[in-house]
Structure 1
Amino acid sequence: MRRHHLLLLGILTLTPSKVLAVPTYTITDLGTLPGGDFSIGSGINARGQVTGRSNIAGSIPHAFLWDPVAGMRDLLPVDEPASPSSASVGNGINDNGQVTGWAGDLGVEHAFLWDPVAGIRDLGTLSGEAASYGNGINDSGQVTGTSPIVAGPFSFNSRAFLWDSATGMQDLGTLGGVESRGNSINDNGQVTGSSEIEFIGPTHAFLWDPTTGMRDLGTLPGEGNSEGNGINDSSQVTGTSGGHAFLWDPVTDMQDLGTLGGTFSVGNGINDSGQVTGQSTTADGADRAFVWDGTGLFNLNDLIPPGSGWTLQGGNGINDAGQITGTGIDPGGQTNAFLLTPVTVAEVPEPGTLALIAVGGIGLGLVRHRRRQNA
């Protein structure tokens, strides 16, 4: 074999195929409702619509729906006849623009379902008394959350529920204790949340299935507690255990997602690609929003335009397009909801690959030079 063939073979052999992804995001300030100075984005759907809460004059929180075209809308204005409540919060939104959360005065809050056409619907409670809170909603309009049941005179135990327009509110039970809460629901009707595993005992994340019931997802090794906060249509769950964010998978079980250098992290939202967003402390104890993409945990503040003036403190929801909502401090020092939209990811060769490509170019140049000399 000729030497220039060996040179080319060596170049091709040494050149690695791996490329590095460089994710970046644009940032949109979702603002506040009129008179407010604070907002949090809690959930996001496939259309980039966001729900959460914003205070209004008097520091009263109101649930909102933010739309890329229409901006922020108060879902429960105080002058709306169907909503005499003084406060409300939006927690979950589906791809039809339906929102769930809670509304009411202190101590008498009720879970609601808000629909763009039908408006607001009170979902009631499990016991007919006390309160209820809607936390997650799927594309069928099923809602999960928590509502107390009567445990005795003046005594209540909180329970995870599943609400359906046909069957009403269903108690999902527990893992052996007396209390549970539902946090998120997927399009298969599966619910995740947390439950006591014994009376006044540790709480574990669960996966509730309409057919098989409630399954204990366990904890990270050596930890006593866990909670599931988000679930996707592949039954993957994210949450926290022992102060660390986790990803639970039906095949690979529970994986520790680590931190941004600090001691605490929590996974809040997950999309159908298995990307997770949440919050983590850094080495200096600061709260920062993160995204986990299967290769590692990334500080979202490092992935937005330099000089934006934003400090992203927590990610709460992520859709299948990779858009993220959460809360942060805007350039004016106000805590506001944000929307991150990923810029087309550039595939950039690793530095070592660039060097080898350069060597390859030199080698090819030498081969061509020799060919010209021998011609």
Structure 2
Amino acid sequence: MSYNSITMRRVLFWVAALGVISVCGAQRLVWLGNLPGGSGSEALGVSNDAVVTGTATNTDSFPRAFRWTETSGMQDLGTLGGVLSRGTAISADGSTIVGYSSDSNGSLVAFRWRNGQMEALSHLSSVRWSEAYGVSADGAVVSGHSWWGSNFRVARWQVNTVVGLNAPSGAIATRGWGVSGDGQVVVGAAFYPSFGLPEARAARWQGNAIQLLGALDGYRRSWAFAASHDGSVIVGYALANGDNGPSTSIHWVNGQVQNLGWLPLEGADGSIAYGVSGDGAIVVGNSDGRAYRWTETRGMENLNTVYASLLADGSQLYTANAISANGRYIVGQGYNAAAQRTEAFLLDTTTCAAHNGDIDQNGCVDDSDLLAVLFAFGQSGEGLGRVDVNCDRTVDDADLLMVLFNFGDGC
């Protein structure tokens, strides 16, 4: 029997056994929809495996924290007894969502959601007002702020304990937003008395020690929103001198400040950096109503331009609010032209390249490639390598059939 006959018999056998083949593109844009009866949504955090959190309005037009997965869709996480809630961040492993919710008295209370349950986090004082905005990669550490005395103080929650972090001399308040993936560094701002608005200075806390971050020339105020896994890269924005001056995205690398600028749009005069990847290499944010991505080599890119092929129906990406620690997923808010509404989005930017089934790249699709897929069959997640032939994060019948349909090519 000839080699080609054997090949064809193998193909027919597997096609009969497995039935159908599905092929998934590498890059994709997913609109996350709304809660039933709601009118809008915004994504604020995303895990390494594409679990998303954010805020969506419900039937009564109240904002509610949500959890979204590709298999289950959008889930209302409920409240702590009140009418509203907001999911602000999710751990890299997807186990923990944090945010804040109103309680039965109307107070805002920081929460942690895990294992299907929303739990209130402790306060720094008897005044029930706290908000959580950041969570470590494993969900163990939460960052935010809580009322203390006559104003807010940066708060760090671990297990069931809350600690108010030190404020610098002269500051009237501090607020915390992000926390590094390892849970060691909290970032935010310290506020000082000033004519008009309080003057904000971006800051980082490691343990209980505070460090004010460097300022840009000509920019009086600054805020820090997110940090890389080890806390060495911090992102946020600065506001030019004067209460109505332009804003600019900035990031600090080992304490050194850099102006990231803004997109070259007509009349552009502002940008804000909201998120950073775990390795600190990718920054995302909003520049004059357009979602952007920044890297050292490519500078600031308009996501509407980079992913124009995914927006051919007239949709737009307004803001990129977060990026997964592994740098693959970007979430935010945009205009879904098909639904004609403002909506949360998930952008999968994977650089995985689908191929013809030549796993070992020896130029021949043969038995060794078939065995590689069979041995990896059923695996899912990130970093699968070339056995994930169609780049859908699962080694399944689709990958196996790609190898079988091309069996013998190049041999």
Shorter-chain TM-score tier: 0.7 to 0.9
Report if aligned partners of 1:109, 1:131 keep a CA contact under 8 Å in 2: yes
Task: Name the CA distance, whole Å, in 1 between partners of 2:100 and 2:153.
Answer: 16
Q: Name the SS of the counterpart of 1:321 in structure 2.
A: coil
Identity of aligned residues (%): 29
The structure with the greater share of residues assigned to strand is 1
Q: Residue 314 of structure 2: which of 284, 309, 317 is its match?
A: 309
Report Cα offsets for 1:139-185 as digits up to 9, x if no partner. 242111111112xxxxx21111101115x111112233020111001
1:266 aligned residue: 272
Task: For 1:308 and 1:44, locate their aligned partners in 2 and report how far apart those are by CA, in whole Å.
Answer: 25
Measured on the aligned residues, the alpha-carbon RMSD in Å equals: 1.9
Residues in 2 aligned to 1:298 and 1:25: alpha-carbon distance in whole angstroms: 16
Q: Does the 8 Å contact 1:107/1:130 carry over to 2?
A: no
What does residue 230 of structure 2 align with?
A: 234
SS in 2 for 1:121: strand
Could you list the per-position Cα deviations for residues 242-267 of structure 1 after superposition, in whole angstroms to 9, with x for gaps in the alignment? 2100111006x111111012110000
d(CA) in 2 for partners of 1:84 and 1:208? 32
Contact 1:174 1:196 in 2 (8 A): no
Q: Shift of the alpha carbon at 1:40?
A: 0.4
* TM-score, with structure 2 as normaliser: 0.70
Amino acid at match of 1:220: L
Unaligned runs of 5+ in 2: 1-25, 240-246, 354-411
The aligned residue for residue 85 of structure 1 is: 82
Q: Is the 8 A contact 1:49 1:97 kept in 2?
A: no
Alignment of 1:295-306 (within 5 A): 295-304=298-307, 305=309, 306=311
Matched, 1:192 2:191: no
- Cα shift at 1:192: 0.4
- Following superposition, the deviation at residue 107 of structure 1 comes to 4.8
* SS of 2:269 mapped into structure 1: strand
The answer to whether the 8 A contact 2:109-2:120 is kept is: yes
User: How many residue pairs align between the two structures?
Assistant: 304
Give CA-to-partner distance per residue, 1:9-40, whole Å, 9 cap, x none: xxxxxxxxxxxxxxx94210011111111000
- SS of equivalent residue, structure 2 residue 167: coil
Does the 8 Å contact 2:223/2:236 carry over to 1? yes
Match of 1:255 among 258, 262, 265: 258
Deviation, structure 1 residue 221: 1.7
- Is 1:175–1:196's contact at 8 Å kept on the other side of the alignment? no
Q: Match for residue 335 of structure 2?
A: 329
C-alpha separation in 1, matches of 2:214 and 2:27? 34
Does 1:318 pair with 2:301? no
Q: What is the rounded CA distance, in whole Å, between the counterparts of 2:66 and 2:30 in structure 1?
A: 16
Query: Does structure 1 retain, via aligned residues, the 8 Å contact 2:51–2:94?
Result: no
Q: Which string of whole-angstrom CA distances, capped at 9 and with x for unpartnered residues, describes residues 55-86 of structure 1?
A: 00121111001112221111116xxxxx4221
* Equivalent residues of 2:234, 2:252 under 8 A apart: yes
**Which amino acid is 1:227 matched to?**
W
Counterpart pick for 2:201 among 204, 207, 229:
204
In 2: Cα distance, 1:238 partner to 1:25 partner:
26
How far is the alpha carbon of 1:137 from its aligned partner? 0.8
- After superposition, the C-alpha distances for 1:117-151 in whole angstroms (9 at most, x for unaligned) are 5x11110321121311111111242111111112x
**Match in the other structure for 2:131:** 133
Displacement, 1:198? 5.7
Partner AA of 2:252 in structure 1: W
Task: Specify every segment of 5 or more residues in structure 1 that has no aligned partner in the other structure, as ranges.
Answer: 1-23, 78-82, 151-155, 282-286, 347-375
* Residue identity opposite 1:159 in structure 2: R
| Correspondence 1:173 to 2:166 | yes
- Contact 1:25/1:341, CA 8 A, preserved across alignment: yes
Structure 1 stretch displaced more, 300-309 or 315-324? 300-309
Distance 2:342 2:321 in 1: 14
Q: After superposition, give the CA deviation of every residue in 1:187-244 in whole Å (9 maximum; x if it has no partner).
A: 1421001112567752111111016x11000221221110001101132000001210
Q: Which residue of 1 aligns with 2:176?
A: 182
Do 2:98 and 2:110's aligned partners in 1 also have CA atoms closer than 8 Å? Answer: yes
Pair 1:142-2:141 in alignment: yes
The 3 A distance-change label for structure 1 pair 98 and 203 is same
Looking at structure 1, the residues matched to 270 and 217 of structure 2 have their Cα atoms a distance apart, in angstroms, of 16
Distance 2:254 2:350 in 1: 31
Residue 224 of structure 1 pairs with residue 224 of structure 2: no
Q: Which runs of 4+ in 1 moved over 3 A?
A: 197-201
On the 8 A contact 2:328/2:350 being kept in 1, the answer is no
Equivalent residue number for residue 246 of structure 1: 250
For the pair shown, the structure with the greater C-alpha radius of gyration is 1
Distance 2:303 2:141 in 1: 31
1:115 matched residue in structure 2: 114
SS at match of 2:304: helix
Partner Cα distance (1:231, 1:207) in 2: 9
Using CA pairs below 8 Å that are at least 6 residues apart, which structure has the higher relative contact order? Answer: 1
